[in-house]
């Protein structure tokens, strides 16, 4: 059955199982205004233009959350856990012609991500939800192993934007690895890595580059399933402009070509994935024992990578090193990595790799900074310093040869 709707002027199948209904404002009597035209227009756009149900957003008044508790703070946001009293929409049930009853998952646990300095809403504050909606709207992508976003609320005191996201019981991947390292079998590790590379593949299929992939923005649920989150600084691969010159990130996860001034692309995400593979092998974050400063950036550009141990399944180290390749074009695409990890995963089920406990490798260096931060100024200084050192070395070599 088809019906042409007045609001969106599109024809859609009236199929409750897939929720392919025009999300007309008349069918949502509890719709609330955020107080910002920018937000309201974006919310309405997602409600009328989607392929999958996950792409619909809504504005939720702050008083519809309870038991709000602070969890952590990142470079650009503060993270809270809360109970959403009404919960997200799960379905509609038709009760009479053109009238539908909304079904929600009541008392649903969520994360509220408060964006710092977001009182005045711009396209920057909308970007994380825009990117998620773009992935949802891509017919070639699936919303598998990508953290779910439900919409927006606002802090009633500071007026800052808070993004409503799924909550995952096992928290961040970095804590999952460090707290359970010797208790996680290689089969489970490869399961988690398969999930991550599947999520990354779908992000890339939607022509999106994550740009800040690391174990602090990948989440784990109680079933050892992983979900890529923090799409805040992600970009469309076809929408880069001259205003995209600011580089944010965590130095050990950033590909060397980014430090040299090249643009982000899918291969820079693959480099970051290689660093996550290394974490699963060691149980620590890359370059945990070094200051994350200009010297480390220079060393990475000159070919430095974290030290490798041999306690890993066959072919694992080979794939990891391919992801680290200094030449971006020689790094494998997500599909190839998935196929190789799947082969290891099947073999690991049949022939488990023994977990070897190693001695304590010491505390994390105080200068190791694992929060995403603006790095453009540091990178510019570093590249100037590296160039000066290179020129000095060349002069020194020339002087010796002339003697």
Range of lowest pLDDT (22-31, 69-78, 168-177, 277-286): 22-31
Domain positions in the chain: 2-166, 173-389
Q: What's the rounded Cα separation, in Å, for the pair 269 and 210?
A: 7
Determine contact, residues 30/56, Cβ cutoff 8 Å: no
Residues comprising the chain, all counted: 403
For 87, 190, 211, 288, 292, the CA distances from 378, given in Å and listed in that order, are 43, 35, 18, 19, 11
pLDDT at site 275: 98
pLDDT at site 280: 94
pLDDT at site 130: 80
What is the average per-residue pLDDT within 336-360?
90
**Token pair 């600084």: residue:** 233
Q: What's the rounded Cα separation, in Å, for the pair 158 and 156?
A: 6
Q: What's the rounded Cα separation, in Å, for the pair 394 and 396?
A: 5
Higher pLDDT among residues 31 and 306, named by residue:
306
Residue 317 has pLDDT above 90, yes or no: yes
> Among 251, 176, 256, 183, which residue's Cα sits nearest to residue 221?
176
Q: Which CATH number is 173-389's, of 1.20.140.10, 1.10.510.10, 1.10.760.10, 3.90.1150.10?
A: 1.10.510.10
**Residue 13 pairs with which residues in a beta bridge?**
2
CA angle 107, 112, 116 (to 5 degrees): 165
What is the average per-residue pLDDT within 172-181?
91
What is the average per-residue pLDDT within 20-46?
67
Q: What's the rounded Cα separation, in Å, for the pair 153 and 204?
A: 28
In 3-state terms, the chain is what percent helix, strand and coil (to 5)?
40, 20, 45
Q: What's the rounded Cα separation, in Å, for the pair 313 and 339?
A: 15
What is the average per-residue pLDDT within 97-126?
80
pLDDT at site 1: 35
Q: What's the rounded Cα separation, in Å, for the pair 268 and 222?
A: 30
The model's pTM is 0.85
**Token pair 């509890």: residue:** 30
Residue 143 pLDDT grade (very low, low, confident, very high; cuts 50, 70, 90): low
Q: Describe the crossing of helices 186-205 and 334-350 by its angle, rounded to 10 degrees.
A: 160
pLDDT at site 30: 52
pLDDT at site 132: 80
pLDDT at site 4: 41
pLDDT at site 91: 77
φ and ψ of 312, to 5 deg: -155, 155
Q: Does domain 2-166 have CATH number 3.30.200.20?
A: yes
Chain centroid to CA 364: how far? 24
What is the average per-residue pLDDT within 209-237?
86
> Among 306, 269, 299, 300, which residue's Cα sits nearest to residue 284?
306
């Amino acid at each position: 059955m088809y019906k042409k709707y007045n609001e969106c002027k599109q024809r859609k199948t009236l199929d409750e199982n897939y929720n392919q209904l025009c999300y007309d404002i008349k069918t949502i009597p509890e719709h609330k205004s955020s107080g910002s035209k920018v937000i309201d227009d974006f919310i309405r756009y997602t409600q009328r233009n989607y392929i999958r149900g996950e792409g619909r957003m809504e504005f939720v008044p702050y008083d519809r959350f309870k038991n709000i508790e602070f969890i952590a703070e990142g470079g650009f946001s503060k993270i809270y856990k809360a109970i959403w009293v009404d919960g997200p929409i799960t379905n509609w049930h038709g009760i009479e012609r053109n009238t539908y009853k909304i079904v929600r998952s009541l008392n649903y646990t969520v994360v509220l991500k408060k964006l710092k300095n977001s009182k005045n809403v711009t396209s920057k504050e909308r970007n994380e939800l825009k990117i998620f909606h773009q992935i949802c709207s891509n017919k070639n992508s699936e919303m598998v192993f990508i953290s779910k976003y439900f919409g927006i609320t606002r802090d009633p005191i500071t007026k800052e934007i808070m993004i409503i996201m799924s909550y995952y019981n096992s928290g961040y991947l970095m804590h999952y690895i460090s707290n359970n390292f010797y208790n996680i079998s290689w089969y489970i590790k490869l399961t988690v890595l398969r999930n991550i590379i599947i999520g990354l593949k779908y992000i890339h299929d939607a022509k999106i580059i994550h740009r800040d992939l690391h174990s602090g923005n990948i989440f784990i649920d109680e079933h050892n399933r992983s979900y890529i989150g923090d799409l805040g600084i992600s970009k469309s691969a076809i929408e880069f402009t001259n205003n995209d010159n600011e580089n944010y990130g965590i130095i050990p996860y950033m590909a060397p070509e980014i430090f040299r001034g090249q643009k982000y692309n899918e291969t820079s995400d693959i480099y970051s994935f290689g660093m996550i593979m290394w974490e699963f092998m060691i149980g620590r974050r890359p370059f945990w024992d070094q200051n994350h400063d200009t010297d480390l950036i220079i060393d990475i550009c000159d070919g430095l990578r974290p030290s490798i141990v041999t306690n890993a399944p066959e072919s694992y180290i080979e794939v990891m090193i391919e992801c680290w390749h200094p030449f971006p074009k020689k790094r494998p695409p997500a599909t190839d990595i998935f196929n190789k990890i799947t082969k290891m995963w099947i073999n690991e089920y049949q022939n488990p790799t023994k977990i070897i406990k190693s001695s304590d490798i010491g505390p994390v260096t105080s200068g190791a900074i694992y929060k995403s931060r603006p790095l453009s100024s540091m990178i510019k200084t570093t590249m100037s310093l590296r160039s000066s050192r290179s020129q000095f070395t060349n002069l020194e070599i020339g002087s010796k040869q002339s003697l």
